[in-house]
Chain A
Amino acid sequence: MDLDYFKLIDRIVELNLDEKRITVEAQVPAQHTIFEGHFPGFPTMPGVLLTEAMAQSSGWLLLGLLKFERMPFLAIIKEAKMRGFVSPGTLLTIEAKLEHEGSGFAVTKAKGRAGKELKCSAEITFGLTPFPDPSMRVHMDAMANKIGFPLQAITQ
């Protein structure tokens, strides 16, 4: 995770477009100023960042399903549940699955685990729009390459 740049996903473990699901890894940093305030003596990953990590995981799934032709933007979060504390240094495995693809929107369900322990879950809705700026598309391509997005999966 690069918390300063809000890039929370480190690696795509599996992208299965037939089953419309993705598994990613996100390494919570061992140290960060966030943990100095949240909380002194009990450093804990903020729930809002766990939710964002689930949204970014879902976003990569949707980019794959959309073949990078449109960009998913976060619109609605439902049933976001923080089920356990996540400490600095934790390796999170996040799974997201497409729940519904509508006209101009998509809904996913995501779950984050530390080992086998379920830490967070949510239902997330995205608006799907053309990339608002070509530079954003270029950036997403570079990010995809960095986190091991299997581009062959969308060219088949």
Chain B
Amino acid sequence: MSSTFDQIANIIAETCDIPRDTIKPESHAIDDLGIDSLDFLDIAFAIDKAFGIKMPLEKWTQEVNDGKATTEQYFVLQNLADRIDELVAAKNAAPGA
């Protein structure tokens, strides 16, 4: 089974037509890969579907805007993969999961 990073890197490569081998765990989705907000909607849809979660993009954006978080915490891909793992774990731990 591929890692969370590999799965999201494959999604980004396919959605944004970015060569897969240029997408690294340390890549910043916006600053390094040039992904804009519209493409990120598409990526979020694919990630939500692939992992059965709802990434809280609005909450994350608000935290960045309020200075409570940095974009690196959510948009460096290894960090994004970690956030996704946390969301999947929370979903699986929820009653009825």
Contact = CB atoms under 8 A, between A and B. Distances in A.
Interface of A: 75-76, 100-105, 107, 125, 127
Contacts, number: 35
B41 A103 contact: no
A107 B54 contact: no
B42 A103 contact: no
Given A103-B44, A103-B56, 9 more contacts: A75-B38, A75-B41, A76-B41, A102-B55, A103-B54, A103-B58, A103-B59, A107-B45, A125-B45
A76 B38 contact: yes
A143 to B, nearest CB: 26
Contacts of B49: 100
A116 to B, nearest CB: 31
Interface of B is mostly: helix
A104 B55 CA distance: 10
5 contacts: A100-B49, A101-B54, A102-B44, A103-B59, A105-B45
Closest 6 CB pairs of A and B: A103-B57, A104-B58, A103-B58, A105-B41, A103-B56, A102-B48
Contacts of A76: 38, 41-42
A107 B55 CA distance: 14
Contacts of B48: 100, 102
Contacts of B59: 103
A125 B42 contact: yes
A41 to B, nearest CB: 39
B57 A100 contact: no
A17 to B, nearest CB: 18
A70 B45 CA distance: 19
Interface in B48-88: 48-49, 54-59, 61
A97 to B, nearest CB: 15
